[in-house]
Each structure stands twice: as structure tokens, then as C-alpha cells.
Amino acid sequence: MGKPNQLSRNIARFQRLPASLRPWLTSFMLGNVVPMVGSASLRFEEISNERVVVTLRNRRKVQNHIKGVHAAAMALLAETATGFCVGMNVPDDKLPLIKTLKVDYLKRAQGDMKAVAQLRPDQIHQIRTQEKGEVTVPVSITDESGGEPIQCEMVWAWVPKKR
């Protein structure tokens, strides 16, 4: 279904490491690739071609005025999970770009947050084989209570790197 790209090859190297080290090293590496991800201390719990799980601790640097996770930090969490889901599949000669970032804030979030983004096999095939296109990446955002304080629609596009 297409050869692995540079990101998925880098992630695969970490699979040989002890499970306890993988999330920290993955998060550190990807936080260097995307500085905003590192600044917010997002943690990659799981990353594969099909599924990406990212968590965010409710700490001072990502809080709003009422000591909850800031709205922009929640959007960053969703954007990061969906973006890396696409990024694991987009060929090296293509560039992934966020096209639509829609966030509906439904209720106050409680504590830490978790994003789970997933792609279907047909979406992966589309990303790997089409010259350019777009895909809506499903993502679920939950808080410590298990509830979903926000609902998101994330549409990602891919285009050739060189015009």
C-alpha cells in the first residue's frame, strides 16, 4: 500500500526500545519537529499509521483563567492527533496541511485531556496514492471524567511539496 515515509520510519525505530521509554522519546522527537507541540508538552501515547493517541496534562502553562485546559490547547490537542495521523501516511514528496479546524465547546473540561484520531484503510489508501486531496480525520477528545467536552471536525489536505 505504499512505502513508509520518513516519519513512520523514525517512529518504527522506537519500537525496539522498552515500552516505558517510547512515549517520552516519541514526544520529545515530535516536539522538536513541531515546536508548539513541545511547548505544550503534548505526550504521544500511541502512534501508528491507523491511530494516534495524544494526551495533555492540565498544568499551569496550558490553563485558562479558571484553571482548566485552555480552549486553544484543546484545539492544539485535536489538531496534533489528526495531523500526525495524516503525517504517518503522506508520502515524503507531499505536504500535509490543515484545511478545516472546527471545534465546538460543549462543556467545561475536567482535568487532563486525551485525543484519539483514527483513519480507515480507504482513507490511508487515498492519502498514499492520490497526488493531492483531502480527508476528514475523526477525533475523539475526552477529559478525566471520560466525557467529551469538545467535538471537532478536522479536514486535512495534502499537496505536492514542489509547485
- What is the tens place of the pLDDT at every residue in 18-51? 988 899 999 999 998 898 999 999 999 999 999 9
- Asked if residue 32 is part of any domain, the answer here is yes
- Asked if residue 1 is part of any domain, the answer here is no
| Residue range(s) defining the domain that contains residue 44 | 6-160
Query: What are 61's three cell numbers?
Result: 502553562
**Nearest C-alpha neighbor of 136 from the set 149, 147, 127, 128:** 127
What residues contact 162, with CB distance under 8 A and at least 6 apart? 93
**CATH number, residue 39:** 3.10.129.10
Q: What is the mean pLDDT of the chain?
A: 94
- pLDDT at residue 162, rounded to an integer: 85
Mean pLDDT, residues 129-153 taken together: 97
What pTM did the predictor assign?
0.93
The residues with which 95 forms a beta bridge, in sequence order, are: 159
- pLDDT at residue 14, rounded to an integer: 87
Least confident of 19-28, 135-144, 151-160: 19-28
Q: What does the alpha-carbon distance between residue 154 and residue 99 come to, in Å, rounded to a whole number? A: 8
| pLDDT bucket at 4, cuts 50 / 70 / 90 | confident
* Residue 41 identity (one-letter amino acid): S
| pLDDT bucket at 15, cuts 50 / 70 / 90 | confident
- Asked if residue 103 is part of any domain, the answer here is yes
Q: Total domain count for the chain? A: 1
Q: What does the alpha-carbon distance between residue 153 and residue 163 come to, in Å, rounded to a whole number? A: 28
Q: What does the alpha-carbon distance between residue 126 and residue 48 come to, in Å, rounded to a whole number? A: 17
CA 134 centroid distance within chain: 16
- Asked if residue 78 is part of any domain, the answer here is yes
